[in-house]
Amino acid sequence: MRTIKQPGAPVAERIQWVEARGRAFSFTLEAGLPLLEAALRGFAAEGFAGGVLNFGRGALAPFGYVMPALSKTGENAAFYSDTYRPAGVTHTRLGSMTLGSRDGAPFFHCHGLWTEADGKASGGHMLPDETDIAEPFEVQAFGVDGAMFAAEPDPETNFKLFGPVVSASTAARTTSRAFALRLRPNQDFAGCLEAFCRAHGIARAKIHGGVGSTIGARFTHGGVTEPFATELAITSGAIAPGATGALEAALDVALIDYTGGIAEGRLIRGDNPVLMTMELVLEVLE
C-alpha cells in the first residue's frame, strides 16, 4: 500500500474516536453571514454545539481558499498553497464540513469543489475567516452530543488537526448512537472503517460529513489520481455487509490534488490510504 513518511513518529492509536449521540437535520445558511457563523447558528437552533455537514449548490462571496501543495520546508509531508480570493460570486458544487473548535473558539474544516465567477473549476480548503454566504442555501447536517471536534497539535504530521474529544452533553434531542472519528495517516480508508465497525459490533452505519486527504486516489470506475497530496470531501458513505456477508465500506468522494486535478467517484477498498487525516461521524444504523 502507498505510504508517505510523516515528520513525526506514528502514535499507537490509529483511530481517534469518541462515542456519542446524534441526529440528522437540515437547515438553510443565511445570506450575508460568514460561513462559520451561519453554520454555528444552524446547529445551535437544533441544540448542538458542533458536528458535521454536507452541501451541494451554494453561493459564496467574498471567498478565500487554499489548495494542497508540496511542502517548501520539509517540516510537513505536504502543505497548503497561497490563498486564493476569486472575484465575484463562487458557486459550490459540493462540500463537506467538520464544525468544532480551535484555540477555544468556533472553527471549521471544510473541503469542496466549486466554479468561480470566471468559469474556472476549482476546489480545496475553505478559509473560515474569509468566506461569506452570498445567497441562502440548504445543507444536510448531523449534530453530535457528547463529543466535539477540537483542533490540537499532532506531532505525527506536525499540523494542528481536528480530532474528537469528549464534551459535556447539551441535552439536544438525539435519535442515534454515533461515533466521531479521526483516522490517522498511512492506513487504508475503507479497511480502517470496516475494522472499526467489526470491533464495535456495528453491522450497518452511515457516514456524515467527511473531510480529509488520501495519498492520491484509485477509483472503482478506473480513474487514478497520481499526485499524492489531495483535499477530499466525502459525498456519500456507508458501511454494510457485502455479498459475502463481510462488512464493506462504500465511499463516494470528490477531491482536488496539488496540481489542480479534480476527481470524483467511489474509492477502491484496500487501495486508498489516508495522507494526513480523515474526520467523519458514523451514525450507527444497527
- H/E stretch holding 140: strand 137-145
CA dihedral 230, 231, 234, 235 (to 10 degrees): -100
Instruction: Record the cell numbers describing residue 248, joined without a space.
Output: 464493506
Task: Go through the domains of the chain in sequence order and give each one's CATH number.
Answer: 21-143 (3.30.1330.80), 177-284 (3.30.1330.80)
Cα 91 from Cα 245, distance rounded (Å)? 41
Per-residue pLDDT, 48: 98
Cα 136 from Cα 41, distance rounded (Å)? 13
Cα 36 from Cα 222, distance rounded (Å)? 36
DSSP class of residue 74 equals S
Determine the 3-state secondary structure of 212 from DSSP. Answer: strand
- Please report, in tens digits, the pLDDT of each residue of the chain (286 residues total): 899 999 999 999 999 999 999 999 999 999 999 999 999 999 999 999 999 999 999 999 999 999 999 999 999 999 999 999 999 999 999 999 999 999 999 999 999 999 999 999 999 999 999 999 999 999 999 999 999 999 999 999 999 999 999 999 988 999 999 999 999 999 999 999 999 999 999 999 999 999 999 999 999 999 999 999 999 999 999 999 999 999 999 999 999 999 999 999 999 999 999 999 999 999 999 8
Instruction: Record the cell numbers describing residue 55, joined without a space.
Output: 452541501
Among 128, 138, 94, CA closest to 232: 94
Cα 102 from Cα 284, distance rounded (Å)? 27
Per-residue pLDDT, 286: 87
Quick check: 65 and 74 in contact, CB under 8 A? no
Quick check: 213 and 282 in contact, CB under 8 A? no
Per-residue pLDDT, 255: 98
Cα 156 from Cα 176, distance rounded (Å)? 33
Strand partners for 65: 84, 126
Angle subtended at Cα 163 by Cα 228 and Cα 227, rounded to the nearest 5 degrees: 5
Among 128, 124, 123, CA closest to 33: 128
Quick check: 14 and 189 in contact, CB under 8 A? no
